[in-house]
Amino acid sequence: MTPPLDWLLQGEPWVAYRARLDLLGEAETAAAREQMLTDPNVKNLLGAFSEWPGKVVNSRKSAGLLYHRLAFAADLGLTIREPEIDAVCEHILARQSDEGPFQVPVNIPTHFGGSGQDTWGWALCDTPVLTYSLVKFGLGDDPRTQKAIATLTGLIRQNGWPCAVSPELGKFRGPGRKDDPCPYANLVMLKLLAEIPAQRDSQPARIGAETLLDLWEKSREQHPYIFYMGDDFRKLKVPFVWYDLIHVLDVLSRFPWLKDDPRLADMLTVLKSKADAEGRFTLESVWMAWKEWEFGQKKVPSRWLTLLAWRIFQRLKSF
């Protein structure tokens, strides 16, 4: 089976833009980029960042949070060349903690070990996403970004990244044993390290990848911090917000040394089984916060989802 390239290139300009870059390996053109930037949804996405930081974070799974939208903007290929991105990056960099990670406004209830008050803080389930976005936007060499990366990478343990939060968040941690790794923290940390050439083959990256693959292999027995890899995990859902099959595959496929891992191959088989006869993929679950986008429905195949799936196959030289 081959990717439905003609169909992808006939889609929204931001889909066609990424298809040319990611699947065809073409060089970027000013015309294609400008067409993407004039798309109404992309313009609205950029305009939303003037409201940074947006709502106080009380659930990292809330798909409409501005930092999730920021990561999607980074995935589209937007950079600090765009004034809106440059401006929001300055806001993020200005809220760097003493420890290094960047902060978001959060509110942890007292019964979860927090203060119950709005405060600025960070956790390993939000600040890696901010840092990933900064790197993708072109600020990976900024000393402030480098400081954040060093601190976050240094939190690795032998079984992966734990649930870790800033001092402002008190005794809060997720619903799990403190010695367990947090699956989502490992996912977003690996996503960050995959964007840094010097970290892509590092020991922390290898530990984090092994953590996720081990959880897949033992998905019936191990559910740290109540992160399951069951039916809901296997449902195709974009954009990348939470802990699910295609998000995990997209991240792990960025590490070339994993391409022959049988556990990754097993995960890939699940994704392949969901293709239709033309190599297209349809959403099985949607984030309602993104309903205005073409991937905000489950009725017809999604070009964005299909592009992401075929990008994974191409990285792994599969299908």
Give the pLDDT score at 106: 86
SS3 40: helix
Residues 169-224: tens digit of each pLDDT: 777 777 778 899 999 999 999 999 999 999 999 999 999 999 999 999 998 888 98
Give the pLDDT score at 152: 98
Does pTM surpass 0.85? yes
> Can you give the pLDDT of all 319 residues of the chain as single tens digits?
899 999 999 999 999 999 999 999 999 999 999 999 999 999 999 999 999 998 877 677 888 999 999 999 999 999 999 999 999 999 999 999 999 999 999 877 666 666 677 889 999 999 999 999 999 999 999 999 999 999 999 999 999 999 999 988 777 777 778 899 999 999 999 999 999 999 999 999 999 999 999 999 998 888 988 888 999 999 999 999 999 999 999 999 999 999 999 999 999 999 999 999 999 999 999 999 999 999 999 999 999 999 999 999 999 998 6
DSSP letters, 8-19, are HHTS-HHHHHHH
Looking only at Cα atoms, what is the longest distance across the chain? 55
Distance CA 218, CA 292 (A): 37
Distance CA 134, CA 206 (A): 23
* Contact partners, residue 95, CB within 8 Å, separation at least 6: 53, 102, 103, 104, 120
Cα distances (angstroms) measured from residue 316 to each of 118, 159, 230, 311, 319 = 44, 25, 23, 9, 9
DSSP annotation of 136:
I
* Contact partners, residue 194, CB within 8 Å, separation at least 6: 200, 205, 251, 254, 255
